Structure 1
Amino acid sequence: MIGAIVAAAAILIAGGGTAVAEPHAGEMFLTFIRHGESAGNASGLIDTSTPGPELTDKGWAQAEAVAGYLADCKFDGIYASKMIRTQQTAKPTSDRCRQPVTVEPGLHEIEAGIYEGQPEHDAGRTYFEAPLQWIQGNRDARIPGSINGHEFKQRMDDSLRDIQNRGSKRATIFSHGGAIMIWTAMSVSNPDLSKLQNDPLQNTARVVVKGTPDKGWKLVSWDGSPTT
């Protein structure tokens, strides 16, 4: 699926660069982490079902690497989507840092609709055709049998507001490649759309943003490489 996003994103124009800074008082500092390799990833087929496929052995090893990366436990909440692969990826970090995993239903992958079960290598011309239009401003575009851009962004934003309402200022959020990349491109004031093509999120890759649901978001960092 990531390869298909890369191909489709080649038509987009790159935006501004990222700015690295600590959040000001009242700001949230969110670290999004894509889940480890799932059986769906290994199959080469689009799978956005719920609860969806579990992690492979490789995916579990990647989850342990994430826990090592986050070993300082300098966050105040661990969140995952309703899909089992994100919850499993979060578990080693939860165990190491002795913080529970809170499931936020709005953080799940973009629903594929009629393209569910189709080859991932075709996703740029099928599943991701509408999401790439959302980035370009056409949020009315709808994935056949699924959601449009307004609905996708609203449910992601609602979950981030829930996280804010729980008092989390430095949350670690385990989500999905498409959801993280598309939401970030739609939401931050300083998007770098070239990242979709040149540095797409591999399993356990990371995106960091700062801001608030009310005042908006800025991209702090984007690292498409797996966590090691």
Structure 2
Amino acid sequence: MAEWGGPAPTYLETDAHMRLLLIRHGQTPSNVKHLLDTAVPGPGLTPLGEEQAQALPEALAREDIGALYVSTLLRTHRTAAPLAARTGHQPLVRDGLREISAGELEMRGDDEAIGIYLTTSFAWAAGEPERRMPGGENGTEFLSRFDAVVAEAAGTGVETVAMVSHGAAIRTWVAARAANVDVEFATAHELRNTGIVVLSGTPDTGWRVLTWEEHSLGPDSGVTGASGPAGEPVG
């Protein structure tokens, strides 16, 4: 695993809204097999996943990214590497961005396990954070750790921040925290590998989704279709 990390940027006092780019990692072997693979460090990327990662800098060329964060799982490091090379930012490793722990469901790919996993995580966003993943964390624990990383980034005063995280984690956090995305939308719109959700806001004033992959959800969305290579073969 790449030894990335280091101290966070210097904090600044600011009320300005931050542009937050939440990026799902590239394809992994466990994605291909539809397995709930959430343990650290986890697998790397497939050849397609590597191509998806290589396509991210071009897909995000119009974004003035000022900081880059990754989770503790290897697949986010591999996905962020080309973007780090383009921006010159050393990725900051934060455990709060890791995938929702599958607990007792780890490495299962059957319909029952996946149903329990998604039903539990989306219940957190729907107002039941006390529910616990079998053998794993509850919603309060998950949302608190993800919130902490977002708050850290917002406190730096950086205008645009990219975070490479995980599908269920991004969909659940956005459904819980964005004013214009509910659980019904997040459930119906799966986030593909290297799919991107763009938000604007602050931890104090709240968040609004500008784009969810190819879906523009607001008049201030900026560049639509910013997901670029999301989950699709790169020619």
Interval containing the TM-score (normalised by the shorter chain): 0.7 to 0.9
* Deviation, structure 1 residue 104: 1.7
Matched residue pairs, number? Answer: 205
Q: Distance in 1 between matches of 2:186 and 2:155?
A: 31
C-alpha change, 1:222 and 1:33, in structure 2 (3 Å) is: same
Contact 1:38–1:59 (Cα < 8 Å) also in 2: yes
TM-score by length of 1: 0.83
Contact 1:71–1:93 (Cα < 8 Å) also in 2: no
- Deviation string 1:129-182 (CA, Å, 9 cap, x unpaired) is 211211221111110111111111100000111212333221011110000000
TM-score by length of 2: 0.81
Contact 1:36–1:89 (Cα < 8 Å) also in 2: yes
Q: Distance in 1 between matches of 2:112 and 2:23?
A: 24
Q: Which amino acid aligns with 1:35?
A: H
* Deviation, structure 1 residue 124: 4.0
* Deviation, structure 1 residue 210: 1.1
Match for residue 117 of structure 1?
Answer: 107
Q: Of residues 99, 110, 124 in structure 1, which corresponds to 2:89?
A: 99
- The DSSP-based 3-state class of the residue aligned with 1:140 is coil
Q: Distance in 2 between matches of 1:135 and 1:220?
A: 19
- The DSSP-based 3-state class of the residue aligned with 1:161 is helix
Contact 2:65–2:87 (Cα < 8 Å) also in 1: no
Q: Distance in 1 between matches of 2:185 and 2:118?
A: 16
Identify unmatched segments of 5+ residues in structure 1.
1-23
Tell me which moved more, 59-68 or 39-48. Answer: 39-48
Match for residue 227 of structure 1?
Answer: 228
Q: Which amino acid aligns with 1:114?
A: E
Match for residue 142 of structure 1?
Answer: 132
Contact 2:176–2:182 (Cα < 8 Å) also in 1: no
Contact 1:37–1:56 (Cα < 8 Å) also in 2: yes
Is it true that 1:159 corresponds to 2:149 in the alignment? Answer: yes
- The DSSP-based 3-state class of the residue aligned with 2:117 is coil
- The DSSP-based 3-state class of the residue aligned with 1:126 is helix
Q: Distance in 1 between matches of 2:110 and 2:176?
A: 22
Q: Distance in 2 between matches of 1:123 and 1:219?
A: 29
- Deviation string 1:167-215 (CA, Å, 9 cap, x unpaired) is 3221011110000000000111111444334421010111111111122
Contact 1:46–1:120 (Cα < 8 Å) also in 2: no
Tell me which moved more, 69-78 or 214-223. Answer: 69-78
Q: CA RMSD in A?
A: 1.9
Q: Distance in 2 between matches of 1:145 and 1:65?
A: 37
Match for residue 117 of structure 2?
Answer: 127
Is it true that 1:42 corresponds to 2:32 in the alignment? Answer: yes
Match for residue 70 of structure 2?
Answer: 80
Give aligned-pair identity as a percent.
35
Q: Of residues 178, 197, 212 in structure 2, which corresponds to 1:188?
A: 178
Match for residue 27 of structure 1?
Answer: 17
C-alpha change, 1:73 and 1:222, in structure 2 (3 Å) is: closer
C-alpha change, 1:174 and 1:108, in structure 2 (3 Å) is: same
* Deviation, structure 1 residue 84: 0.7
Q: Which amino acid aligns with 1:132?
A: F
- Deviation string 1:91-147 (CA, Å, 9 cap, x unpaired) is 001112222111121011000010001116444422222112112211111101111
